[in-house]
A = this chain, B = another copy of it.
Amino acid sequence: MPATIGHFASHDTIARRGERPTSCCLLLQGYLCWMVESESGQQITSIHVPGDMPDLQNLPAPQLQYDLVALGPVVVAFVPHAFFRELNASSPRLSRALSLLALADVSCLRNWIFNLGTRDALARVAHLLCELTVRLRVVGLAKDFTFASPFTQSDLAAACAISAVHANRTIQELRRRSLVQWHSKTIAVADWAGLVQLARFRPDYLGLRDPSMLDGPQTGQFAAQLSA
């Protein structure tokens, strides 16, 4: 796969609204988000983890509609559009797989709308953490329910549509309830079952095939004991 590697710092813009890029972006390390901005404010509409290709669907687009922004330091591989066009033409199987990826993204977006629309700030943040945890576990980056979090509290606020001050209050409350620890750019989910319950997290929408990522650490140990 032909690719060019790129490094970016936190809050760098990898691709900007109005641009007409000639390659897609495969996220290797760190987090990316789609950011929508105007006078009314700024809003993160999705967060991407290593392994994702956030702008794959934009391949046929005349131009980008929104900004692709780094959350924390990031390493990406740029893959020329031509590569995917040929892939699409040559293999119906892969073409279908890419459609399924796109569909999963849409499902996430609708769920994100649901999250903003129906939950209060505490459950909203909890839900975002649940989603991040599961998606990171799928790619092996949160094996013990602990993962890197270069996000600022303002980033969290922009994702959950709350003010930065209230984001702080909310995190404090999650800490107070012993649900998560969040220190020195690391998040540790201390009580997975509790977090899931608070967020009413139902991971169907992620379209996972292997549901073992949803088990808590206790369950895992229990299973280990069973098989021993």
Instruction: Say how far A219's CB is from chain B's closest CB, in angstroms.
Output: 23
| A141 → chain B closest CB, angstroms | 25
A221 to chain B, nearest CB (A): 29
CB-based contact A43/B109 at 8 Å: no
A92 cross-chain contacts in B, Cβ below 8 A = 89
For the complex, give the distance between the alpha carbons of A48 and B106 in Å.
16
Q: How far is the CA of A39 from the CA of B200 in the complex (A)?
A: 8
Q: How far is the CA of A99 from the CA of B161 in the complex (A)?
A: 30
Binds B, one of A55-63, A131-139, A178-186: A55-63
Question: Is A118 among interface residues, defined by CB-CB distance under 8 A?
Answer: yes
Q: How far is the CB of A87 from chain B (nearest CB, A)?
A: 14
Do residues A103 and B57 form an inter-chain contact, with CB atoms below 8 A? yes
Chain B residues in 8 Å Cβ range of A36: 110-111, 113-114
- Residue A187 is within 8 A (CB to CB) of chain B in the complex: no
Kindly list chain B residues whose C-beta atoms are within 8 Å of the C-beta of A96. Answer: 60
Residue on B nearest A159 in the bound complex, by CB: B117
Bound together, the chains give a CA A38 to CA B204 distance in angstroms of: 12
Q: Within 8 Å of chain B (Cβ to Cβ): is A40?
A: yes
Q: Is the CB of A117 within 8 A of B114?
A: no
> Which A residues fall within an 8 A CB radius of B?
34, 36, 38-43, 45-46, 57-62, 65-66, 89, 92, 96, 99-100, 102-103, 105-107, 109-114, 116-119, 123, 161, 200, 202, 204-205, 207
**What are 27 A-B contacts with C-beta separation under 8 Å?**
A34-B110, A36-B113, A38-B202, A40-B118, A40-B119, A41-B117, A43-B114, A45-B110, A57-B99, A57-B102, A57-B103, A58-B103, A59-B99, A60-B99, A60-B100, A61-B103, A62-B207, A65-B110, A65-B204, A65-B205, A66-B107, A66-B110, A102-B106, A106-B106, A112-B113, A113-B113, A116-B116
